[in-house]
Amino acid sequence: MTQPLLSLWINGQSQASQSQRAADIFNPATGEVIRRAPLADKPDVDRAVAAARAAYPGWRDTTPLRRARILMQFRELLQAHREELVGLITEEHGKTHEDAAGSLQRGIEVVEFATGVPHLLKGEQAEDVGRGVDCHSLLQPVGVCTGITPFNFPVMVPLWMFPVAIACGNTFILKPSEKVPSASLRMAELFHEAGLPPGVFNVISGDKEAVDALLAHPQVQAVSFVGSTPVARYIYETGARQGKRVQALGGAKNHAIVMPDADLDFAANALTGAAYGSAGERCMAISTVVAVGAAGDALVEELRDRASRLNVGAGDEKDVDMGPLITGAHRDRVRKLIDSGAAQKAKLVLDGRQHPVVEKSRGFYLGPTLFDHVKPEMTIYQEEIFGPVLIVLRAANLDEAIALVNANPYGNGTAIFTSSGAHARRFERDIEVGMVGVNVPIPVPMAFFSFGGWKASLFGDLHVHGMEGVYFYTRSKVVTSRWPTGHKEDPSSLSMPTLG
């Protein structure tokens, strides 16, 4: 049986793709194809950009207050359709209902932040920067923006981008992951219902072909990307070469340092959630623990105990802690990485390949896996696994642990578990990572702060949402003005002024 083919959302309506290509969308809990996503081609992209370009002057000239009111209405509709959106997230991604609801909530908070845009767009002003001369700055929209998003947060990551861009007066084309496009299309309908004019927000499903067409399009001014590091690097380099502004958030290998003075019970609870929540498919998942000194053996025992009790199953079932992985291919990749860890002689404390659900279900499951005594040269340390696999390395002291984290090419999130203020302060200052938790395992900044990593976890300068998001989606303009009153000011001098 052929599964239904989704549409694109262009110019305030569903439109069929002209492309001949499409991708299967799976329900990862059952392994079945549930629908298909068109893979947009260049003519599709051209239509979306033309709609966004045509809508831009009218939207730019809509007052920030009116834009904010449409965002408020959109926020109400997201709340009212909560269950439906959560259902789509769980159905296409596999994460549990509760986790999906949490991710929607974090996305809604960005919409709430963006409703403050009349205030956020206020510039600076100074009088008398010279004799009779005043100066003020403006933040103006950049034009047509695009967002390219990963599979692992079908709603939250798109919401990091488009509400802020649109609040600032830009128009937007979202290219969600072809594995999970339905929630984005539904959000476009809701935004339209909230009163957004046609063409301001467009959604096209697609893959590299659509991304390349967006990157090459002369009318696209700004590109936001979230996904894996190799693609982030490619997007950044290609977009920058075309003269676009780009923020490209990449992959991660997030470490948590556990000091011997930490509350081990608390740390083990926090780390179990941070490692295995969403089956480890979170860019802020803790995938690596660095156990310092005497913390090691007891912590590993606590982690094994908790991980082995997790309930693995379909995300829409009651009391399930952890769902499946996104596709069969990804599950097989994670399984191979577990094979490699065992072959390279890391100590396999808990083997998710043996979990009963793996045999029982046709879904893309693996059970929680725990490795101890991992060494930095092992493949399971070198690669981002993006699955329910937690690895533990040992360090003799805090210096060694910090050096290990800083030597890692990624710099997205990190955490320390300790009861010492001195250790925490040292960690906070010296760690080369963008988002830092102190006894907080997944230190995701709230919407009114900015989210982003360092090193191979971010290409570009500005993080998403918060004020950095506002700066990314605006250009600043500085106006210097003088209103001559008639008295002589030596207007004929050719020299730069030496006094204020």
CB of 381 to ligand NAD, least distance (A): 16
Taking CB under 6 A as the criterion, the residue among 28, 38, 141, 150 binding ligand NAD is 150
Q: Is 149 in the site for ligand NAD (CB under 6 A)?
A: yes
Catalytic residue among 135, 145, 168, 283: 283
Q: Is 447 in the site for ligand NAD (CB under 6 A)?
A: no
Nearer Cβ to ligand NAD (112/212)? 212
Taking CB under 6 A as the criterion, the residue among 44, 91, 99, 178 binding ligand NAD is 178
CB of 338 to ligand NAD, least distance (A): 18
Q: Is 274 in the site for ligand NAD (CB under 6 A)?
A: no
Q: Is 228 in the site for ligand NAD (CB under 6 A)?
A: yes
Residues contacting residue 144 through CB under 8 Å, at least 6 positions apart: 49, 52, 53, 56, 170, 171, 172, 173, 219, 220, 221
Q: Is 208 in the site for ligand NAD (CB under 6 A)?
A: yes
Q: Is 386 in the site for ligand NAD (CB under 6 A)?
A: yes
CB of 44 to ligand NAD, least distance (A): 14
Q: Is 352 in the site for ligand NAD (CB under 6 A)?
A: no
Q: Is 412 in the site for ligand NAD (CB under 6 A)?
A: yes
Q: Is 44 in the site for ligand NAD (CB under 6 A)?
A: no
Taking CB under 6 A as the criterion, the residue among 457, 466, 472, 474 binding ligand NAD is 457
Our answer to whether residue 283 is catalytic in this structure is: yes
Taking CB under 6 A as the criterion, the residue among 141, 169, 251, 469 binding ligand NAD is 251
Nearer Cβ to ligand NAD (40/190)? 40
Q: Is 414 in the site for ligand NAD (CB under 6 A)?
A: no
CB of 160 to ligand NAD, least distance (A): 8
Taking CB under 6 A as the criterion, the residue among 151, 276, 364, 459 binding ligand NAD is 151
Q: Is 384 in the site for ligand NAD (CB under 6 A)?
A: yes
Nearer Cβ to ligand NAD (214/338)? 214
CB of 330 to ligand NAD, least distance (A): 8
CB of 54 to ligand NAD, least distance (A): 25
Q: Is 148 in the site for ligand NAD (CB under 6 A)?
A: yes
Taking CB under 6 A as the criterion, the residue among 12, 94, 453, 469 binding ligand NAD is 453
Residues designated catalytic: 283
- Return residues touching ligand NAD (CB under 6 A): 148-153, 157, 175, 177-178, 207-208, 211, 226-228, 231, 234, 249-252, 283, 384, 386, 412, 453, 457
